[in-house]
Structure 1
Amino acid sequence: MKILDRYILKSFLITFTSVFVILFFIFILQGIWLFISELAGKNLDYMVVVKFLVFYSPKIVPLVLPLSILLASIMTFGSFAENYEFAAMKSAGISLGRAMKGLTIFIFLLSFAAFFFANTVIPKAEYKFINLRKDILQTKPAMAIAEGQFNTIGNSNIKVDKKTGENGEFLEGVTMHVKSNQGFGNKTVIKAKSGVLKSEEGSNILKLDLIDGYYYEDIYPKKFEEQNKVPFAKANFKKYRINIDLTNLNKSETAGEIVNTNTMLNVSELNFTIDSLQKSYKKDVVSFTENISQGIEFTLKPKPITSSAKFKNTDDILASFSAEDKSKIFESALNSLSSTDFSIQNNKNDLYEKKKNINKHWLALHEKFVVAFSCLLMFFIGAPLGAIIRKGGLGLPIVFAVLIFIIFHFINTFGRKVAQENGIPPFLGSWLSSMVLAPLAISLTYRATNDIGVMVNFDWIVEPFQKLINKALSNTEKIDLEEDRDTIKDNDNDN
């Protein structure tokens, strides 16, 4: 490696390491804030908290790494251009492309490392992270439920007014909503004066014994038209036990879902799982279609008709039946349509959820490759952009880096959401942000390597902030001078 390549690589690594550590620490603090309710005031051992953060931290890397590369590239190459180091290189016959050559090789290696990390380390860490949370809940089951708010665990929402006991296992004022598996909304609403949480070591089930309460349960009628009556059943109980599955934990989607296994699988495992899920989905579609077609049958037979009879329209067909049979046909057809529509809606919701699960696995598969590609993308945006704007340090580079990364992250989040809801293919949803920013990277690299630059003066972005800072500093100096004068006058008067 030549001296120039070592110098550029060293400058980049110093900046990149500093930026990565700072951003990583910021996102770790964000993770602590997200899980503060599970960590604070639970009398957890120090090592448990450390393990919690260690297992959580790998999922931050795909978010921090591209941003760190982008910011470090802008700062490094912006500093070279600002200090006329690129001018010295060009005078020696070294182009910008040649200056970027050694660092480009390093970024390629870093991209492979990012893919390896996303494919091996993150799934294992996610598995350990989920099991650690489950173990904490088994040791202190009351951690699964916070006072005064609804907590989502599995297909249930639970709220308690007060918790007592050494581990908070005794509950007072319990309200529980159990979601329906056949559609949207709640299927069962349970209220109890008190309750007790119990768990067994090595079990995924959390037992909740409710005492002195009642529950309402929605009833799904066989006939579709009777649903408008909203029938339900009510019952009282002295003691009622509910088993809660701890594999599904309360987790906001803003921090990434952990209730699905797609985040715990590598590429080969995802391919196998996707293939199995798609085969199961196709079988369900075929089975549903056959059940619908077999269910639409009419058992009534018309009067004997001569072979020469011809029917021009529906009225001619109905004319072959008696008035009583016509009434039965209409009633049977109406009931059949209502039943079929009800069955279609239920199966549609079931197939929709299964399709969403398949899409989530596809997104998890593509995301491992997107992480690696985003490292290259951010470098080929940041390096030429820094050479063009000719600004180093923490001023303008941070503005551009944050702006570009927000656009990248917003498009990526939007694409994933739409693809998950089956609005667009998962491939497009995962790669949408890269497709949008790739032309920008190509354009900036072309302009920087050909000394075209951009016909925009970026000083108008920095100057207002500089004026405000200078004004604030000048006002501070004036205040200090006036205070010094007042102090001197007071001393003279005392003398």
Structure 2
Amino acid sequence: MKIIDRYLLKTFLGTFATVFVILFFVFILQTVWLFIAELAGKDLDFVMVIKFLAFSMPRIVPLVLPLSILLASIMSFGNLSEHYEFAAMKSSGISLQRTMRSLTVAITILSIIAFFFANNVIPYAEFKFINFRKNIAQAKPALAITEGQFSDVGAYNIKVNKKWGENGNHLTGVTIHQKATNGDGSKTVIRAKTGELISSDKSSILQLVLNDGNYYQDIVPKKYEDRGKLPFAKSSFKKYRINIDLSELNKVDTKDESVSNTSTMLNVNDLKYTLDSLTKNRNTEIISFSENSVSRLGTFTNNNAPVVTKKKRHIKDLLSIYDNKKKLEILTSASSTTESMLFSIDATKSELDFKKKNINSHIISLNEKFVIVYACFLMFFIGAPLGAIIRKGGLGLPIVFAVMIFISFHFINTFGKRISQEDGLPPFLGAWMASMILTPLAILLTYRATNDIGLINMDVILAPIQKVFQKIVHKIFPSLNKE
């Protein structure tokens, strides 16, 4: 390896390592901020917090790695250009492409590592992370409830005045609001003097045993004029048991995110196998629904269709051959069948749409394994020429350009995935949209840096304006033409 290659590798890799550590730390802080509600005020020991962060760290790498390569490239090549080291290389006959050759090999190695990391480490970490969040409440059920405030636990909002005992399983001053299924507020309130939390590692059910309390439930009268009286039912109990499904604690906000969490747990082989099964299942359901619909329509036609002989073919209104009673039966049956078919079509369409989104999500996750590889090359071939053009190193202007480019890449990437997951775009196009849009920028910057052309050729913009300005001046002041 030549001295120039060793020098460039040392410069780039040193900058890359520093930038990667700093950005990784910043994104870890963002992760802590996102999950602060799950960590704060729940008496988690240091080991559990470290596990929580460790399982969430791998998902940060696909964001940090391309940004680190981009920023390190701009800083390294900008610093070399700023100190005229590139000028010395070019005067010695070393082109920009030759300069980037050894670094391209390094980026290739980083990309291969990134692929294996995205294909093996991240799915495992996602699986452990999601299950760890659920198992926190199973291992220490008292963590699901915070003293002195209402805690959202499954279908209940629970408040306790004090927790005590070895694991905080014993409760004092328990107030429970049961969530209404119709969304019109809590209709049931339970209060108890003491309580106890009982859980098992083998079950996702958390049992809450209440002692010495009252049960209040609002009653909605059938008559509207009686509703102003606000009647309610009250009962007392010595012991009352409530079963809480802890799997509710691990649910994400939307179905789409839930599907995404499932697909990110799989590697390439698992995704291909799952996609094949999901696609076959959806196609089978479509065929089955189509056959059932034809069968139902055929049954209705065979049972109710009038027999039209050759003599009656000229009759336009087939119902006219029946009496009124028979007409009513036929029309009622037809209306009922139509409503049933429409309801079945709507229900099946919703189910098929959900399955399609699930398939799209898995296709996006499959493509993301390869997008990160291409993103490493893309950010390098944007950052290296850009650094050579702007001729600025350090943490000033390079950070501005890096942040602008990466935010654009991340926004387009997120937008494309969201749209394609909703079946607005093909999943392949949604996953690769940001890369496709920024690839011409990488080609343009590499071309301009290779040919020593500035970032923006101001002559192209200013020359037409100057000509127009000269024509206007010559028309206003004709005497200038003679001079």
Please give the TM-score of this superposition, normalised by the length of structure 1: 0.78
**What is the deviation of 1:256?**
6.8
Q: Distance in 1 between matches of 2:179 and 2:335?
A: 38
Offset of 1:377 from its aligned partner? 0.5
Amino acid at match of 1:403: M
Q: Alignment partner of 1:393: what SS?
A: coil
Structure 1 unaligned spans of 5+: 179-184, 218-233, 458-495
Shift of 1:308: 3.2
Paired letter, 1:26: V
1:97 — aligned with what?
Answer: 97
- Specify the alignment match of 2:312 in structure 1: 309
Q: Bigger CA drift: 156-165 or 369-378? A: 156-165
Q: Given that residues 97 and 450 in structure 2 are in contact (C-alpha distance below 8 angstroms), is that contact kept between their aligned partners in structure 1?
A: yes
Alignment of 1:76-87 (within 5 A): 76-87=76-87
State the alpha-carbon separation in 1 of the partners of residues 53 and 335 from structure 2: 60
Q: Secondary structure at the match of 1:206?
A: strand
**Paired residue for 2:179?**
176
Q: Distance in 2 between matches of 1:445 and 1:354?
A: 43
- Between the aligned partners of 1:353 and 1:188, the Cα distance in structure 2 is 29
Q: Cα gap change, 1:257/1:21 in structure 2, threshold over 3 Å: closer, same or farther?
A: farther
Matches within 5 A, 1:240-319: 241-244=242-245, 246=247, 249-251=250-252, 260-296=261-297, 297-298=300-301, 301=304, 305-311=308-314, 313=316, 315=317, 317-319=318-320
Whether 1:114 aligns to 2:114 is: yes
The one-letter amino acid paired with 2:102 is G
Partner residue, 1:45:
45
What secondary structure sits across from 1:93 in the alignment? coil
Residue 378 of structure 2 corresponds to: 377
Question: Partner residue of 1:362?
Answer: 363
CA–CA distance in structure 2, aligned partners of residues 345 and 64 of structure 1 = 43
Q: CA-to-partner distance for each residue in 1:104-141, whole Å, 9 max, x for gaps? A: 11001100110010001111111222222222110223
The residue number in structure 2 matching 1:487 is: none
What residue is the counterpart of 1:468 in the other structure? none
The C-alpha deviation readout for 1:373-422, integer Å capped at 9, x for no partner, is: 10111000000011111111111111110000000000111111111111
Distance 1:305 1:62, change over 3 A: closer
RMSD value over aligned CA atoms? 3.2
Distance 1:215 1:142, change over 3 A: farther
* Partner residue, 2:467: none
Aligned to 1:15: 15
Given candidates 190, 195, 198, the residue that maps to 1:193 is 190
Q: CA deviation at 1:20?
A: 0.6
CA–CA distance in 2 between the matches of 1:312 and 1:150?
A: 72
2:21 corresponds to which letter in structure 1? V
Instruction: Check whether the contact 1:71–1:401 (CA below 8 A) recurs between aligned residues.
Output: yes
Any conservation in 1 of the 2:207–2:241 contact (CA below 8 Å)?
no
Deviates more, 1:82-91 or 1:185-194: 185-194
Q: AA paired with 2:279? A: Q
Q: Specify the alignment match of 2:223 in structure 1.
A: none
8 Å CA contact 1:420–1:426 kept in 2: the answer is yes
Q: Equivalents in 2 of 1:259, 1:137: separation in Å?
A: 23
8 A contact 2:12–2:73 mirrored in 1: yes
Checking the alignment, whether the CA contact within 8 Å between 1:145 and 1:159 is kept in structure 2 is no
- The 1:16–1:149 alpha-carbon spacing in structure 2 relative to 1, beyond 3 Å, is farther
Partner in structure 1 of residue 437 of structure 2: 436
Map of 2:425 onto structure 1:
424
- Deviation at residue 283 of structure 1 after TM alignment: 1.8
CA distance 1:280–1:205, shift in 2 (3 Å): farther
Q: Superposition pairs for residues 91-240 of structure 1, below 5 Å?
A: 91-144=91-144, 151=152, 158-162=156-160, 164-166=162-164, 167=168, 171-176=174-179, 191-194=188-191, 197-207=197-207, 212=215, 214=217
Distance change (3 Å), C-alpha of 1:169 and 1:295: farther
Equivalent position amino acid for 1:193 in 2: I
1:41 to partner: Cα distance: 2.6
Task: Please state whether the residue corresponding to 1:29 is helix, strand or coil.
Answer: helix
Give me the whole-angstrom Cα distance separating, in 1, the residues matched to 2:304 and 2:257: 59
Question: What amino acid does structure 2 have at the position aligned with 1:276?
Answer: S
Contact 1:55 / 1:129 at 8 angstroms: preserved in 2?
yes
Q: Distance in 2 between matches of 1:416 and 1:163?
A: 45
User: 1:149 offset after TM fit, Å?
Assistant: 6.8
- Contact 2:81/2:87 (<8 A) preserved: yes
Q: 1:230 maps to what in 2?
A: none
Cα deviation, residue 8, structure 1? 0.8
Give 1:345 shift.
1.8
Task: Give the alignment's TM-score, normalised by structure 2.
Answer: 0.80
CA distance in 2, matches of 1:45, 1:246: 22
- Where does 1:301-340 land on structure 2 (aligned, <5 Å)? 301=304, 305-311=308-314, 313=316, 315=317, 317-340=318-341
Report if aligned partners of 1:381, 1:440 keep a CA contact under 8 Å in 2.
yes
Please state how far the C-alpha of 1:198 moved relative to its aligned partner.
Answer: 3.6
Contact 2:375 2:435 in 1 (8 A): yes
Query: Once the 2 structures are TM-superposed, how far is the Cα of residue 160 of structure 1 from its aligned partner?
Result: 3.3
Give the aligned residue type for 2:320: A
Structure 1's 236 and 400: CA in aligned 2 closer, same or farther, altered over 3 A? farther
How far, CA to CA, are the matches of 1:258 and 1:326 in structure 2? 50
1:56: how far off? 1.0
Are the structure 2 counterparts of residues 252 and 6 from structure 1 closer, same or farther at C-alpha, using a change threshold of 3 Å?
Answer: farther
Q: Distance in 2 between matches of 1:298 and 1:144?
A: 59
Partner of 2:411: 410
Distance 1:347 1:206, change over 3 A: farther
Where does structure 2 lack aligned partners over 5 or more consecutive residues?
A: 221-231, 459-483
Aligned counterpart, 1:352: 353
Q: Tell me, what secondary structure is at the counterpart of 1:308?
A: helix
Gap change, CA 1:436 and 1:72, over 3 Å in 2 = same
Q: 1:331 to 1:114 in 2, by over 3 A?
A: same
Q: Which amino acid aligns with 2:190?
A: K
Displacement of 1:175: 2.9
- Taking a change above 3 Å as real, the CA distance of residues 351 and 444 of structure 1, as seen in their structure-2 partners, is same
Distance across 1 between alignment mates of 2:187 and 2:350:
25
Distance in 1 of aligned mates of 2:252 and 2:439: 33
Residues 213 and 49 of structure 1: CA distance in aligned 2, closer, same or farther (over 3 Å): same
Counterpart of 2:287, as a letter, is: V
Distance 1:216 1:337 in 2: 38
Distance 1:189 1:335, change over 3 A: farther
CA drift of 1:99 comes to: 0.5
Distance apart, 1:204 and its partner CA: 2.9
State the 1:157 CA deviation.
5.4
CA contact (8 A) 1:141 1:198 kept: yes
- Looking at structure 2, the residues matched to 351 and 235 of structure 1 have their Cα atoms a distance apart, in angstroms, of 44
